[in-house]
Each structure stands twice: as structure tokens, then as C-alpha cells.
């Protein structure tokens, strides 16, 4: 692979809407990290149990006895007349105008099309390990990012495609012929959809707000979204699914909005035992359904929670957490018992802050970044998250560690601080423990950096998976 051009890990500045006016690339002293790491990096608690085998009415014959169905298909991507097909087993195929087929990848999870920085038609391939590649006929494969969580297609205007890349930190970037552009933070979910004309639309969820991106503009589509996901509807049409906070589940296709369930609990995207793109719909009573071409199919009648990850077969899978503790993965291999379930996190509902004062509060957060295939784990320090009086703000879309740190202040001089000393400054900033430039800048005149005491926050093992909210009041200020 060549042409590595990773989006900046840090991209914060004077933000207005989704625009950024300046960039920072800051770091934490190695000695300070050596002191912090033993405090925070602890193993997850073990979870045991013995649930029954998941109930399923699907025929689960061996995969190689069936035709593999496509999860995603794109046309005219690299050249006129070609067809790119992503199958349920992760194989990515190209069929050119002459009918010749070529295998491009055997471990793809999501694909999109667009233009690279040389304005050449490009195929984008997101792999299960978070590596995002572009493929052009003239340049071949190039690594774009090694920490991507999800991708989606959109358009700045007619003939002006853009790729959206959501990183595991919640940062959202756009990649087009003009290169990388920072779009925003605190994004929990990114999904693909289409408009009534069948053109690609990118959707992102921040808190309960659902936005769609068309013609270079983000617009609010729903202010009561609990979760979103991509898939196909009962007719096989590409669809965005919007689970509202009241349990109603809607699909959005080129034909418009349609109510498909009025009592859903949680949703996730994946593939079924036939390798078809599938939306998973878990009801509050533990009934788990798969929704794909043909409609709903009952999969399990004793599920506690669902999540997504990499299954024992090395492919993307749905994880079904049973009421009595066991975990099963589900994909084209069918239901498979996950024996090392201690290492499979159940769904996390994220970390939020609530301002119960009569003043605006600004919050800086110290949080964990998991290791990837190319970079070790780290701790990210980011500010500022601004809360209006009475506002609750989801700051992290998912919690993957029990321990955090935060520092907050309001204009009247009130602070929420502690004994964990870290550098901050008044203007927006972001750095992580693998960088080394903050130490240098601290000694410079007008650097703006000072040490402040962060409160250590232990959310506890159970709250890691159920979500956690910090309430800031006048009474609990420093």
C-alpha cells in the first residue's frame, strides 16, 4: 500500500457550525503519561452466565451450500460499466464492462465511491480493523485512515461526491477532491441513505439530533432520534433506519418515510445467515428480529442487549447478549457461542454532562482511546464542550473504560476541579498522551497553556455499559 494520508488525529479550532478555522496538534509529556497509565488502564470486569441457545427460525445450512448475496452494490465507480459488489462474507468484487470479475478484497465491511485528491474516480473500502483505503485505476490502493469507525457517501452538489469518515473518537471528517475537512465532533453514529432522486445522502446523529447532508449543507431531519442504522427495506431498497426515543422505528428510502415498528428497543446493522444486509431490531421484551428483503424474521426470544463487532470467524457480526449472561455472535456463519465473552463489550450508552446551574459551563475531558492495529492506546484531553444552563450534552458516544477526568468552569468563577493535573488553555484544544509538543509549548511566552486539576471520574464497571451522566451543580463545585 502507498499514499498514506491519514486525517489529522487532532483538528480543533474556532468552530462555527461545522467549520473550523484553525488546527492544533498538541501532546502530553511521556513522564506524565507514565504516571497516569497505571491509574487508568485497568481490565474490564469478567462476566459469566449460561443462557440457552438462541432461538431461530432461519435455516442455518453451511454457508458454502448457498449463493452469497450482496450487501452493497455500486455502479460506474472506477470506469463506465463496472459494478462493485460487497458480499456478506467480506469479499469485494469488481465486474468490468466486459463481464470479467476480479477479487479486490476479502475482508471489507463497508464501501463507498467518490473522488480522490487528484480528482480520479475512487472506490473506498473500510476494513474491519478500522483501516480505510482508496482504490483508483491509476494509483492503485492507498491507505487514508487507520482509525475509522464508519463511512458514508454524500454530495456537495451534482457530480461532486464526498466521503464522510467517522473516527472512533467521535470526530467527523469529509474527504473529497479538496482533501480532508474537519466537520465536527460528538458524532455518535454515521449512516448512508438516499434522497427521493436516489442520490446518496450521509446522515449523522449527535445526541438525539439527526442531520442529513445534501448539496453541501447539513439539515436537521429529526430531533428525537435514539439511534440510526443503514440497511435495506422489505423490498430490497437501500434504507436509513431511524429509531425514535419513543420506540417508533422508521425507514427512509427513495419512496420516503415509512413506520415499520412501533415498539423497538434498540437497533444495529449487519448481515443475516444468508449474507444479506440486515437491520436487527431488539424489542424491550427480549425478542430479536432481523429485517431485510422480505420483511421481519424472528431470531431470538431471550436477548438482553445487542452490539456489533468482529465475530469468531473474523467477520463483522452482531453480538446477542442473552438475559442470563452468555454471548453469541450472528452473521453468515449463523449463531456461534462466543467463549471468550469477557472480551466482548455489551452496548455502551455513552457519557453525558448536565448543567444544573444558571451559568454557561465549559467542560474539558480526559478520556481513553483504544489501541488500533497501527497505534497503541492513548488518553485524549479535549476542550471545550459548552453547556447552556439546564442543558444535557452527550460528550462521548460510547464508554470503553471505567475511568475519566474532567475540568469545568463557568464565567462567574465557579470551577469543578480535582487533583489530576493536566495542561489546558482558554481557546479550543485537543492533544493525546502519545504526542510530545505540549511540554515545549508550556515554556513559551503566550502559549496560553496552564496546568489545572481534573476531577477523576470512576463510572464503575456496570455504568460503563449502561451509560453515565455527570451533573454539575453549584453545590458540587470546587
pLDDT at residue 36 tops 50:
no
pLDDT band at 407; cut points 50, 70, 90: very high
Separation of first and last alpha carbons in the chain: 52
Q: Which residues contact 471 (CB under 8 A, 6 or more apart)?
A: 353, 354, 356
Q: Indicate the range of 62-71, 97-106, 315-324 predicted with least confidence.
A: 62-71
Q: Is the sign of the CA dihedral 95, 96, 100, 103 positive or negative?
A: negative
The reported pLDDT for the residue numbered 316 is 82
Q: Nearest CA to 58 among 292, 260, 248, 214?
A: 292
Query: Taking a C-beta distance cutoff of 8 angstroms, is the pair 316, 270 a contact?
Result: yes
For residue 33, the surrounding DSSP H or E stretch is helix 30-40
Query: Taking a C-beta distance cutoff of 8 angstroms, is the pair 420, 405 a contact?
Result: yes
Percent of the chain scoring above 90 in pLDDT? 28
Query: Taking a C-beta distance cutoff of 8 angstroms, is the pair 420, 454 a contact?
Result: yes
pLDDT at residue 186 tops 80:
no
pLDDT at residue 30 tops 90:
no
pLDDT band at 438; cut points 50, 70, 90: low
pLDDT at residue 446 tops 60:
no
> What dihedral angle (degrees, nearest 10) is formed by the CA atoms of 164, 125, 228, 6?
-40
Query: Taking a C-beta distance cutoff of 8 angstroms, is the pair 143, 133 a contact?
Result: yes
The reported pLDDT for the residue numbered 464 is 59
pLDDT band at 26; cut points 50, 70, 90: very low
pLDDT at residue 238 tops 80:
yes
**Mean pLDDT over residues 119-125, rounded?**
92
Same CATH topology for 26-44+347-472 and 70-223: the answer is: no
Strand partners, 414: none
Q: Indicate the range of 19-28, 197-206, 312-321 predicted with least confidence.
A: 19-28
Measuring CA to CA, how many Å separate 212 from each of 41, 153, 300, 372? Answer: 37, 11, 33, 29
Question: Average model confidence (pLDDT) for the chain?
Answer: 77
Q: List the beta strands (DSSP E) in 40-105.
A: 70-75, 83-87, 92-95, 101-105
- Predicted TM-score of the model (pTM): 0.58
Distance CA 52, CA 326 (A): 8
Could you tell me which CATH number the domain at 70-223 has?
2.130.10.10
Q: Is 346 helix (H, G, I), strand (E, B) or coil?
A: coil
> Domain 26-44+347-472 belongs to what topology?
Immunoglobulin-like (2.60.40)
The reported pLDDT for the residue numbered 217 is 87
Q: Indicate the range of 47-51, 100-104, 149-153, 228-232 predicted with least confidence.
A: 47-51
Total length of the chain: 478
Q: Which residues contact 422 (CB under 8 A, 6 or more apart)?
A: 28, 32, 366, 381, 405, 407, 451, 452, 454
The reported pLDDT for the residue numbered 377 is 79
Q: Which residues contact 322 (CB under 8 A, 6 or more apart)?
A: 49, 51, 52, 54, 302, 303, 304, 328
If 0-12 CB within 10 Å is exposed, 13-18 middle and 19+ buried, where does residue 18 land?
middle
Q: Nearest CA to 170 among 9, 405, 40?
A: 9
Q: Nearest CA to 397 among 348, 449, 433, 360?
A: 348
Q: Is 96 helix (H, G, I), strand (E, B) or coil?
A: coil
CA 329 to chain centre: 19
Domain boundaries defined on the chain: 26-44+347-472, 70-223
For the CA atoms of the chain, what is the radius of gyration? 23
The reported pLDDT for the residue numbered 234 is 93
Q: List the beta strands (DSSP E) in 116-255.
A: 121-127, 132-136, 140-145, 148-157, 160-167, 172-176, 179-184, 189-194, 200-206, 209-214, 217-222, 225-232, 238-244, 249-253
Helix, strand counts (H, E) of the chain: 3, 39
**Mean pLDDT over residues 103-116, rounded?**
88
Amino acid at each position: 500500500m502507498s499514499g498514506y494520508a491519514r486525517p489529522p488525529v487532532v483538528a480543533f479550532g474556532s468552530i462555527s457550525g461545522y467549520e473550523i478555522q484553525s488546527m492544533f496538534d498538541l501532546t502530553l509529556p511521556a513522564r506524565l503519561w507514565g504516571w497516569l497509565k497505571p491509574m487508568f488502564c485497568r481490565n474490564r470486569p469478567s462476566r459469566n452466565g449460561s443462557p440457552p441457545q438462541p432461538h431461530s427460525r432461519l435455516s442455518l445450512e453451511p454457508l458454502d451450500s448457498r449463493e452469497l448475496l450482496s450487501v452493497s452494490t455500486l455502479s460506474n465507480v472506477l470506469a463506465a460499466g463496472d459494478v462493485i459488489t460487497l458480499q456478506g462474507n467480506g469479499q469485494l468484487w469488481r465486474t468490468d464492462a466486459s463481464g470479467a470479475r476480479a477479487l479486490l478484497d476479502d475482508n471489507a465491511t463497508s464501501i463507498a465511491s467518490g473522488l480522490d485528491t487528484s480528482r480520479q474516480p475512487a472506490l473506498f473500502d473500510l476494513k474491519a480493523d478500522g483501516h480505510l483505503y482508496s482504490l483508483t485505476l491509476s494509483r492503485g490502493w492507498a491507505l487514508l485512515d487507520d482509525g475509522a469507525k464508519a463511512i458514508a457517501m454524500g454530495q456537495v452538489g451534482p457530480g461532486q461526491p464526498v466521503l464522510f469518515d467517522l473516527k472512533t473518537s467521535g470526530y467527523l471528517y469529509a474527504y473529497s477532491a479538496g482533501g480532508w475537512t474537519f466537520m465536527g465532533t460528538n458524532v455518535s453514529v454515521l449512516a448512508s441513505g438516499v434522497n427521493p432522486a436516489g442520490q446518496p445522502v450521509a446522515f449523522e446523529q449527535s445526541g438525539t439530533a439527526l442531520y442529513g447532508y445534501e448539496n453541501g449543507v447539513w439539515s436537521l431531519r429529526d430531533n428525537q432520534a435514539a439511534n440510526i442504522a443503514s440497511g435495506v427495506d422489505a423490498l430490497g431498497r437501500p434504507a436509513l433506519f431511524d429509531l425514535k426515543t419513543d420506540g417508533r422505528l422508521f425507514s427512509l428510502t427513495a419512496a420516503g418515510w415509512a413506520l415499520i415498528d412501533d415498539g423497538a428497543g434498540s437497533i444495529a446493522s449487519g448481515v443475516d445467515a444468508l449474507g444479506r444486509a440486515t437491520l436487527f431490531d431488539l424489542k424491550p421484551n427480549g425478542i430479536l428480529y432481523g429485517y431485510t428483503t422480505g420483511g421481519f424474521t424472528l431470531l431470538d426470544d431471550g436477548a438482553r442487549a445487542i452490539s456489533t463487532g468482529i465475530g469468531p470467524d473474523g467477520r463483522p457480526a452482531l453480538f446477542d447478549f442473552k438475559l442470563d449472561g452468555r454471548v453469541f455472535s450472528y452473521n453468515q456463519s449463523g449463531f456461534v457461542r462466543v467463549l471468550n465473552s469477557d472480551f466482548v463489550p455489551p452496548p455502551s450508552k455513552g457519557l453525558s454532562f448536565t448543567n444544573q446551574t444558571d451559568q454557561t459551563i465549559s467542560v474539558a475531558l480526559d478520556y481513553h482511546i483504544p489501541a488500533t492495529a497501527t497505534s497503541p492506546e492513548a488518553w485524549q484531553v479535549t476542550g471545550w464542550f459548552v453547556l447552556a444552563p439546564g442543558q444535557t450534552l452527550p460528550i462521548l458516544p460510547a464508554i470503553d473504560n471505567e475511568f475519566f477526568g474532567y475540568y469545568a468552569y463557568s464565567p462567574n468563577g465557579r470551577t469543578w476541579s480535582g487533583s489530576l493535573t493536566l495542561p489546558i488553555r482558554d481557546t479550543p484544544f485537543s492533544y493525546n498522551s502519545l504526542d510530545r509538543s505540549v511540554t515545549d509549548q508550556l515554556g513559551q511566552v503566550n502559549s496560553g497553556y496552564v496546568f489545572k486539576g481534573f476531577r477523576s471520574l470512576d463510572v464503575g464497571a456496570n455504568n460503563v455499559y449502561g451509560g453515565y451522566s455527570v451533573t454539575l451543580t453549584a453545590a458540587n463545585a470546587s
